[in-house]
Amino acid sequence: MKTDVLVVGAGPAGIKAALTADRAGADVILIDESVFLGGQLRSQTQYFSNLPKNIDSGLGIEIYNELENQLNNSNITVFTNHTMVGSFKNGNIGVSNGEKVLEIQSKKNILAPGAQEEALIFPGWTLPGVMTAGAAQILVNREFVRPGNEAIMVGSNIFALEVALLLQQCGVSVKAIIEEQLNIQCKDTSKLGEIGNIPIFTSSRIKAARGRGKVEQVIIETPNGENELYVDLICVANGFRPILEPFEILNCEFTYKKGLGGWIPKYDNRFLTGNPNCYVAGNAAGITDLGPILLTGEIAAWNALGEIGLVSSIVVDKKIKNLWVELSRLEDEYVFKERLNLINNTSAIKY
């Protein structure tokens, strides 16, 4: 199977990259290992406003619906339930639905596998009832299952607070938010107002979870001593880290950038990795917010289009310049600085 652009991962970054390439006239194949498109975005009911110019603010699911709408009106070939399982010696990529392996020969690949949540390890962390905040969100928004009745949230970043609010909205009593650091991590003051009366314990951590076959009790250590709470749900929002396997398969180089989520593939200002046929987009290029995620997909796609020769370099350069300006405007200052830092150190990649 031949194509101009293969996009791996149909979250917001992958979809945006695919749409951008499709509109410029490229043949595009978009694959995702899930039976659903949209990655986590389609399970998100929080409101996003800090978005690129051409995208309206809205709930995550609304933004996804609009992207899906655009996908349906495109010529993109979409394979859901297909996982990238390896590469052939000639560089072609193998994707499989568990039955058959399709060999895809593409001129350029855009890898947008996203990120995975970091677990937190404490005595009792494997008991049923301990889950990541993202898992709780999927249970509620996609599966319509309430994950528990009485919960605590570990972590106080914006995602932790959003999921805590979501749990409250569907009748879960959130008894505490536990933050290891001195201060609450979420910088959005309006979110803090919304969580209202949930007690927040800073400089605190989980000592252990206990229960027979499931979580029944949690012990937290606070500066004022130990606290025992009776809960059946412990949500952990311990941050995200980029998914690296596809980049390993394709022989990309890696580097460590704490501010971008730890180990990530090296890339330059075109989002081109150490493999000259592979671009990176989305959270895999550094953990960030929805607006920047969408922009990185677009930047990667324009550069791929330029390299293939479907768009002139003058147009590409202009597009990219504008997109980078927008990225600098939308992205968290520290994350953007780390990104620039990575790119400046990466110009030395030899092709």
Name the site residues for another protein (rule: CB under 8 A).
85-89, 94, 98, 101, 103, 248-249, 251
Residue 87 or 156: the one with the smaller Cβ distance to another protein is: 87
> Which CB, 135 or 249, lies closer to another protein?
249
What's the closest the beta carbon of residue 86 comes to another protein, in angstroms? 4
Shortest gap between Cβ of 248 and another protein (angstroms)? 7
Closest approach, Cβ 95 to another protein, in A, equals: 10
* Phi, psi for residue 343 in degrees, rounded to 5: -65, -40
Min. distance of Cβ 348 from another protein in angstroms?
22
- Our CB check for another protein shows the closer of 84 and 301 to be 84
Q: CB neighbours of 171 closer than 8 A, spacing ≥ 6?
A: 146, 149
Q: At what angle do helices 290-308 and 12-23 cross, to 10 degrees?
A: 40
Q: 10 Å Cβ neighbour count for 171?
A: 8
Collapse the DSSP code of 256 into the 3-class scheme (helix H, G, I; strand E, B; otherwise coil) and give the result.
strand
Residue (89 or 258) nearer to another protein, CB: 89
Q: Using the minimum distance from each CB to another protein, give the nearer residue, 26 or 93.
A: 93
User: What is the distance between the alpha carbons of residues 115 and 283, in angstroms, rounded to a whole number?
Assistant: 6
Which candidate, 268, 291, 283, 235, places its Cα nearest to that of 351?
A: 268
Q: How far is the CB of 27 from another protein (least distance, A)?
A: 22
Which residue has 């987009």 as its token pair?
281
Please give the backbone phi and psi of residue 7, each rounded to the nearest 5 degrees, phi first: -110, 125
Q: How far is the CB of 251 from another protein (least distance, A)?
A: 7
Give the whole-angstrom CA distance, residue 338 versus residue 215: 39
> Nearer to another protein by C-beta: 82 or 339?
82
Question: For residues 345 and 152, what is the distance between their CA atoms, to the nearest angstrom?
Answer: 41
